[in-house]
Chain A
Amino acid sequence: MNYLDNAATTFPKPEIVYKTMDTFYRTLGANPGRSGHKMAVAAEKEIEDTRAVVTKLFGIKNSNRFVFTFNATDAINMGIKGLLKSDDHAITTYLEHNAVSRALNGLERRNIITVTKVRNSQDGFIDPDDIKNAITSKTRLIVMAHAPNVLGTIQPIKEIGRIARENNIIFFIDAAQTAGVCEIDVNKDFVDMLAFTGHKGPLGPTGTGGLYVGERANLEPWREGGTGFEPASLSQPEELPYKLESGTPNTVGIAGLRAGVEYILSKGIQAIRKHEQKLIDKLINALKDDRRFILYGTTDISRKVGILSLNIKGFKPAEVGAILDQSFDIAVRPGLHCAPFAHQVLGTFPDGTVRISPGFFNTEADIDQLITALNRIANEKI
């Protein structure tokens, strides 16, 4: 299968990821930090080694402030629900994934917080001034995607982060689509919290992810329980990362995540990004002047990750997805991509778009095959 759905999850993984997980589970599959025997200690070390490696991706200096989660949704919920209190105001955008929109909406619906959604430009960018204008005396949080999953447009996080810092507001980015493919430095970009998932750009397995909790963010744990730390105390430990890491972690997944991140670091994030840019650029150039296709968001590849949302006139995205799958053996993601508001502002609600997202292991031949397929479908307008 020509797999072009890497924004949903990257596939395949580097061979080393499969091997590491297999070896880890066969030799070190103990519960970390609980028993004190050799295997448990080794499992614990694996987790701490991974923590040290993953923090490099984001320029995090104190690795204790990096908490393992099960995915980005888990991390976003932990961040939003752990931070916001009654009467707080949060700023977000229309481009967000439901992981952000629903977590905020849940609190808003229960009259705990108020939320302002900031609009984006036609080509998919948030203007920092619009964020600034939405700030009120109660604003405690600005939460947004680094690159929203429908358009892949890279947002000016540094400018927005600076505004947040100047106004003593917590700046929280959802790096689900950028971790592992874009350079991120939480310090230089004024990021207070960052959520990511392990199974996309970091090339790790599903069930892994993390949350960076900067010095300015004090979170209440939303999941309490066994940490292997201060077991005699009834209350959750105050110390990070234990405060937010209860329950047996996904150790085998975390081992795989380390292998994935090490692979990325060995190839270089810039090299990965260049490769994806080259592929998406080829696709954009083949389609952008053809009136049978509608492309969404900017076509300036220096301002987006390897994601292109499009439609073929006369076809529903779900139809295009099904045809690509069964007649051409190409995997893409049609629909709303769990981001209904983004499609509303794009005018593609309720059917959505066809999202194409090549990854590091795709080739130019894969894109050529896709271009041929899209043309053949567009030729058979009914």
Chain B
Amino acid sequence: MSDRYARQVLFYGIGNKGQKILMEKTAVLVGCGALGCTSANLLVRSGIKCLKIVDRDYIEESNLQRQSLFDEEDISKNLPKAVAAQKKLQKVNSHIQIEAIVADINPSNIETILENANVVIDGTDNFETRFLINDYCVKEEIPWIYGACIGSIGLTMNIVPPKTPCLRCVLDTIPPFGTTETCDTAGIIAPIASMIASIQAAEALKILTGNYDALSKGLLKIDLWRNEIKKLHTDDIREKSDCITCKQHHFEFLSKDRYSMTTSLCGRNAVQILHPNGSKLDLAKLALRLEQVGKVSFNSFLLRLNLDKYELTVFPDGRLIITGTNDAAVAKGLYAKYIGM
């Protein structure tokens, strides 16, 4: 084995044997933002066989503060995040396979994207996609590593079906659309993302080398501003719960029953996103949250948010019309970024 991985091989938890196993494994990273940049970098350097990077977004200036794989040149070239990450990381390690997938992962394409995954890393910015990943991974028994950050707070949890509780054991329902803060409304500091992503990468190494006993158990919550580290023990949750996903095997997101409906509206350049369960939004509250983001106006029927290229119209049931694009992926990205889904 080359020198490249010598220090990792020396480490007792990996060794020659672990490294060989690692070099046969495929990881899929869903979402290449602040979390994804760090975990992708660490996994590529560790010498796995293949990393697939899935992301629907293009790089923006406000990403550079925390998304460590991107630079100003990428923005001037208007590169999709997945492509920019692939190019950069391929320079770091030309011996492994790195695949960029510029797509919105959804119930129709998730099987094609995740089918050969030995582990799935969560770098997404929304609950809907996480619940979808959870459905697929529970169904196919693929381990996945939940990760999320906002402000100075980060969360992560390993989900190893069917052994551990799944995301829905811990969080039964998806928060209603438009009720969760996002990094684009509440902000984020970069170190928490690096920290959570580093933990995700370490957990991925354990999973990929078969070191399941070493895995972190439970839901880990870190607040770097208040200097708090908490662990929610989830050991008996699965036993106690009658989880709709991992116990009853109803995959509501994969089957699209609870997945948002995206419709290109009859009219140019507008997409509507409708959540099947609806929401009950307080438009005044939402307006307050979005004040920093762009020009906001609202009445009792709707709220308009004017961004540079897009106009977002939010309705009290969580329905959103995005004017300025025909692309469902772009529309969903904007929803996740500014409204929260």
> Could you list which residues of chain A lie within 8 angstroms of chain B, going by C-beta atoms?
316-319, 322-323, 326-327, 333-338, 340, 349-352, 377, 380-382
Contact = CB atoms under 8 A, between A and B. Distances in A.
Contacts of A349: 268
Contacts of B270: 318
Interface residues on B, range: 20 to 34
Nearest to B301: A323
Nearest to A323: B301
Nearest to B317: A326
Contacts, number: 60
A335 B313 contact: no
Interface in B275-333: 297-302, 304, 313, 315-317, 319, 321, 323
A319 B323 CA distance: 11
A380 B266 contact: no
Contacts of A377: 301
Contacts of A333: 266
Given A326-B315, A382-B304, A318 B267 contact: yes
A338 B316 contact: no
Contacts of B301: 323, 327, 377, 380
Contacts of B321: 316, 318-319, 322
B67 interface: no
B272 interface: yes
B302 A322 contact: yes
Most buried by A among B302, B317, B321, B323: B302
B244 interface: no
B316 A334 contact: no
B265 A335 contact: yes
A337 B268 CA distance: 11
B267 A336 contact: yes
Given A316-B323, A323-B315, A380 B300 contact: yes
Interface of B: 265-270, 272, 297-302, 304, 313, 315-317, 319, 321, 323
Contacts of B313: 316, 318-319, 322
A316 B321 CA distance: 11
Given A323-B301, A382-B297, A335 B317 contact: no
A377 B304 CA distance: 15
5 contacts: A318-B267, A323-B315, A349-B268, A350-B269, A382-B298
A323 B321 CA distance: 11
B267 A319 contact: no
Contacts of B267: 317-318, 334-336, 350-352
Contacts of A352: 266-267
A338 B272 CA distance: 17
Given A318-B272, A377-B301, A380-B301, 17 more contacts: A316-B321, A318-B267, A318-B323, A322-B313, A322-B319, A326-B316, A326-B319, A327-B301, A333-B266, A334-B266, A335-B266, A337-B266, A349-B268, A350-B268, A351-B268, A380-B299, A382-B302
B327 to A, nearest CB: 16
Contacts of B302: 319, 322-323, 382
A318 B265 contact: yes
A287 B304 CA distance: 26
Contacts of A322: 272, 302, 313, 315, 319, 321
A212 B121 CA distance: 59
Contacts of A335: 265-267
Contacts of A334: 265-267
Most buried by A among B269, B270, B297: B270
User: Which 3 pairs across A and B sit closest by C-beta, in order of nearness?
Assistant: A335-B266, A350-B268, A335-B267
Contacts of A336: 266-268
A327 B315 CA distance: 9
Contacts of B298: 382
Contacts of A317: 267
B272 to A, nearest CB: 7
Nearest to B318: A326
